[in-house]
Amino acid sequence: MLILKPSRQKGLAIVELTILLPILLLLFMATAELGRLIYTYNTLTKQLEHGARFLSQKNYQGIAGDADNVAALKAMIVYGHVDINNAASAEPIVVGMTVDDIDVNMVAGENLYFKVDINYTYRPIFADSIATFGLGDPINIALPLNSSVVMRVIN
């Protein structure tokens, strides 16, 4: 059995650290990015539910499908408030989300329903694509996050 003396192990720890550090950093960054992805999706879903609840209560005046109310709904989902006039200067709750990412469809029937969809493209912090080092096109890692809710208009 070979026993190395402490004098022969000088520098061995730094070699091990050099090998393992990139792997550990990659795992740390992937874990942080996954947490950010889940947080973003949860925020989108909560904002969608709040906005849909806001629009469902507008039928008390009989104007749930009105264009101003739809614009207010989109502002509420994106910016957290219904003030359409100050929306241009406000920061979106989710970075990069715009009112164009939201679709509202009214469904008439026995009861009046509406469906609100969010189609948001999640962009990671570090890069939008992974290089393949000349082995092909870069791999796009921007992920589409889609969420929708169907709610009945309150009579």
Picking from 143, 139, 121, the residue whose alpha carbon sits closest to that of residue 130 is 139
More confident residue, 4 or 21: 21
Reported as a pLDDT band with limits 50, 70 and 90, residue 6 is low
Residue 86 has pLDDT above 80, yes or no: no
Q: Where are the domains of the chain?
A: 14-152
Residue 32 has pLDDT above 90, yes or no: yes
Structure tokens at 38: 């889940």
Q: What are the DSSP calls for the chain, one per residue?
A: -----GGG-TTHHHHHHHHHHHHHHHHHHHHHHHHHHHHHHHHHHHHHHHHHHHHHGGGGGT-TT-HHHHHHHHHHHHHSS--STTGGGSPPSSTT--GGGEEEEEE-SSS-EEEEEEEEEE--SS-SEE--TTSSSPEE--EEEEEEEEEEPP-
Is the pLDDT confidence value at 92 over 80? yes
> Whole-prediction pTM value?
0.78
The answer to whether residue 107 scores a pLDDT higher than 90 is: no
Instruction: Answer yes or no: is pLDDT of 120 > 50.
Output: yes
Are 96 and 117 in contact by the 8 Å Cβ rule? The answer is no
Asked if residue 53 has pLDDT above 90, the reply is no
For 143, list phi and psi in degrees, rounded to 5.
-110, 135
106 alpha-carbon distance from chain centroid: 25
pLDDT digits (tens, 9 = 90+) for 15-25: 888 999 999 99
pLDDT at 60: 46
